[in-house]
Amino acid sequence: MDGAWQGAQGALRQRARGGRRGKLAAVAEFDSVGLRYGTGAEVLRDLDFRLGAGAFYFLTGPSGAGKTSLLKLLYLAQRPTRGRVRLFGEELSESPREALPPFRRRIGVVFQDFRLVRHLSAFDNVALPLRVAGASEQEIEGPVREMLAWVGLADRASARPPTLSGGEQQRVAIARAVINRPELLVADEPTGNVDAEMAKRLLHLFSALNRLGTTVIVATHDVGLISATPGAQLIRLENGSLVDPTGVLKNPPEDQWRG
Amino acid sequence: MARMTFEWLFPSASERRLLGGGKLRGPTPWVIAIMSFSIMIIAASGLALANTAALLTRAIEARYSLEVPNGGADLGGLVAALKSSPGVVSVDVVSQNEMRKTLARWLGPAAKNADLPVPALINFDTGPGADIALLQKRVKAIAPEVEISAHRESVAPLLRSLHLLQWLAFGLVVLLSGAAAAAVVLAARGALDTHRFTIEVMHGVGATDLQVTHLFQRRIAVDAFVGSVAGAAAATLVLLLLTTGATFAGELTGGATLGAGDLLILLAIPFALTILATWVGRTAVLAALRETL
């Protein structure tokens, strides 16, 4: 499988080079962001940070700290109840919902529960972002097969999610998340449902994507995963607030970014 | 441009797979078929009533009767006066035999009794230039007891009833169309609930509301078209049986006919119902999607 991964990395690198939309200082900027659901208490409070283009982040914190809520703001599944969120240089906190789809196409998301469409094959699940973006079937066929080969599922293209193992489903989800050359990859506990070996492989995959220029943010409890990724930056949430005593997340030094 | 506008009608195989399942699932096509059937029958009845009313109105608009109580002593003079009056286009004397035949319906054999005084009746039609007031003067000069009566006055209650029934039919067509639209809204909401997860995933990867809506819109259009055409076909069969079948049907329809224009209107009903259902379904889906982020 490693051979297939390495082989496809070349293709992905080529696609990434063609697909970059120019250098951005920050992929995401949060300014005094707060979030509450309904009339409940704020689950996120006064978040001030910037995600540098091409950087690799781990988002950590105890359960209930607000990691998933923060990620939802990042992949535009939720609007902040206060403050401003800028993605790719655009203020999106109060943008009309019609303006959001083009930005969502620039973001890949990997969920802990995979969120694959059960009645679609692995191929169709991976092809979904390309089809939504308007690619023709001819344009889709090659890249999707390539991506499935990259995640080691070339021979499972026609299998439906219920017939795939947890690890296989996670790899399909990752293939779907990266097929559209995202500028930002958001992963919520991606290793929660896979064994240690698969977790290592997924991390290898994320690192490979990051080296190609994708900003990666991974929410995880897995200390092993964090320690196995040298150079990654840590964002820690506690009770909905960012732990940033030095202000490095709010005003990161430019040399930390690879963008 | 037409291809762009109706592109949603011709989805690729992959787009069809997105919602899974086959065609004609659920009760929507059946509900629409029943609505289409009912609308067709009611619309056909309404149109036939309109035609009957128009036919009746045309037939009696210019028709009058002259009743001569003394049984026809002045009949010759009255007929001559009518024929020589301007605007009178035809004069028709109802024979005594016909009068007695008519009376026999109520009186039975007694109507043939020679002692029974039977009035004479003259029907006449008028055209442009007829002056009824002048006619009245002329005939009263010959026989003061005669009365001219307009047929339209005697059938006015019937015509009012026919017009009322026409409006009732129109109202029922509107109500049934509304019910069909409501059924489509419920079906669309049900479909959205069923496919909520797929929609969330599609939105997550950047699908627009319109892209999602097109998937549902096509399915609604297909269901509505199949249902309304099936209902219309069944209604056509029933209408054909009623109009050309058994003897009782002749009595039932009263010889009312449908013209080419009416048939075109009836033919348009399944298509109009399909367009209505598709538009309502699309609007319902778009409105529901706007409630999400």
Q: Report the alpha-carbon distance of residue B75 to residue B11 in Å, rounded.
A: 80
Query: Is the distance from CB of B110 to CB of B27 less than 8 angstroms?
Result: no
Q: Are A79 and B207 an interchain contact pair (Cβ–Cβ within 8 Å)?
A: no
Q: Report the alpha-carbon distance of residue B188 to residue B191 in Å, rounded.
A: 5
Min Cα distance A91 → chain B (Å) is 16
B276-291 confidence digits (pLDDT tens): 999 999 999 999 888 8
For chain B, list residues whose CB is within 8 angstroms of any CB belonging to chain A.
12, 14-15, 17-18, 20-21, 197-198, 200-209, 211, 290, 293
Residue numbers in A near B15 (CB within 8 A): 131
Mutate to test the interface with B, among A93, A119, A186 (most CBs of B within 10 A): A119
DSSP secondary structure letters along chain B: -HHHHTGGGS--HHHHHHH-S-SS-SSHHHHHHHHHHHHHHHHHHHHHHHHHHHHHHHHHTTEEEEEETTSSTTHHHHHHHHHTSTTEEEEEEEPHHHHHHHHHHHHGGGGG-TTS---EEEEEEE-TT--HHHHHHHHHHH-TT-EEEEHHHHHHHHHHHHHHHHHHHHHHHHHHHHHHHHHHHHHHHHHHHHTHHHHHHHHHTT--HHHHHHHHHHHHHHHHHHHHHHHHHHHHHHHHHHHHS-HHHHHHHTT----HHHHHHHHHHHHHHHHHHHHHHHHHHHHHHHT--
Mean pLDDT for B133-155 is 86
Min Cα distance B30 → chain A (Å) is 26
> Hey, what are B41's tokens?
């029958």
Mutate to test the interface with B, among A117, A130, A181 (most CBs of B within 10 A): A117
Min Cα distance A254 → chain B (Å) is 30
Beta-ladder partners of A110: A187
Residue numbers in B near A131 (CB within 8 A): 14-15
Q: Are B207 and A101 an interchain contact pair (Cβ–Cβ within 8 Å)?
A: yes
Which of B119, B120, B137 lies closest to B82 in space, CA to CA?
Answer: B137
Min Cα distance A73 → chain B (Å) is 11
Tens-level pLDDT at each residue, chain A (259 residues): 444 344 444 444 444 444 444 444 789 999 999 999 988 888 999 999 999 888 999 999 998 889 999 999 999 999 999 999 999 988 888 888 889 999 999 999 998 888 999 999 999 999 999 999 888 889 999 999 999 998 889 999 999 999 998 888 988 998 999 898 899 999 998 887 777 887 887 888 888 889 888 999 999 888 888 888 888 888 999 998 888 766 667 776 665 554 4
Which pLDDT belongs to residue B103? 85
Which residue among A77, A103, A127 places its CB closest to the CB of B293? A77
Which pLDDT belongs to residue B192? 86
Q: Are A176 and B205 an interchain contact pair (Cβ–Cβ within 8 Å)?
A: yes
Using left for φ > 0, alpha for ψ between -120 and 50, and beta otherwise, residue B224 falls in alpha
Residue numbers in B near A132 (CB within 8 A): 202, 205-207, 211
Which residue among B205, B208, B209 places its CB closest to the CB of A128? B205
